[in-house]
Amino acid sequence: MDMLRPFLATLLLAAPALAQTPQSVSVLVPIVGSVTGPNEVRWKTDVELHNDGREELFVALRLPTAPDQPTIAFTLPGGGTQRFADVVAQAFGMEAALSPLIVETMGKRSVRVAANAYAIRGTDITRPEPIPVIYNDASYPFRTLNNLSFSDVFRTNLGLVNLGDREATFTLAVQRVAGRNIAVARIAIGANSLAHTSIQTLFPLIAKGDNFNVVVETSAPNTYVYASVIENATSEARFIAPSIGMPESQEARQEAGGRRQKEK
């Protein structure tokens, strides 16, 4: 496999300037990283790319919120697999970074992508935590991060991603009961930027507790939100992908689905 082929990266990035733009498909891994957290725990991300077809594919990887938006490109043969146990270090040669990962494949179909986060402390390694890959536009006015915890046992980090070319404003509301805000915060995120922070930083006056939800509102396109709940003693993590809509509408959809099942 020919890795780190600069001319392919240039081809993908310069495609709009060509007389005929090559077709490509992009998918998003919400967050990848190689960073040190509390208690000297090192967090890394494992990424695997699979070419399920017979034809060779050109693939480019990009970290859009890292400095200089580093990009690499390579070919993946039919039936082939490329794995990066630490995608930030092995693919991009960076000691530390935290960013979404854009995987762009030239052609009509994407490579299949799998990603897992894990933590290392000394000789201990946590179980891999799958990170759901986004194959479609994930921008919606309201998204909810469910079942969050912040206590002596667990901590929660929130991620707000703006991949647009303009500043985006996010309004966050903490709820324990659907529709009843306990606290509200607003944060502006610059173009092609990421805010990854603890929930206590955004809501310092909130009491400890479990089973909280955070409703996130923004009208900006090309945005994404996520959360991670981490057990303090073991560093075992649970990735939280957003549910679409507000909790009230989610509950209404669930009730409607239950009624339809009973009618059958």
pLDDT in tens, 162-189: 999 999 999 999 998 888 999 999 999 9
Q: 209 to each of 4, 158, 175, how far by Cα in Å?
A: 47, 16, 11
Predicted TM-score (pTM) of this structure: 0.84
Task: Give pLDDT, residue 139.
Answer: 74
Q: 88 to each of 35, 152, 203, 217, how far by Cα in Å?
A: 10, 31, 30, 30
Task: Give pLDDT, residue 136.
Answer: 78
Average of per-residue pLDDT across 213-222: 94
Query: What percentage of the chain has pLDDT greater than the value 90?
Result: 72
Average of per-residue pLDDT across 6-14: 49
Q: 125 to each of 37, 43, 65, 93, 228, how far by Cα in Å?
A: 14, 10, 27, 22, 17
Domains of the chain by residue range: 6-130, 142-254
Q: 75 to each of 80, 106, 172, 195, how far by Cα in Å?
A: 10, 10, 41, 32
CATH match for 142-254 among 2.60.290.11, 2.40.33.20, 3.40.50.1460, 3.30.70.1140: 2.60.290.11
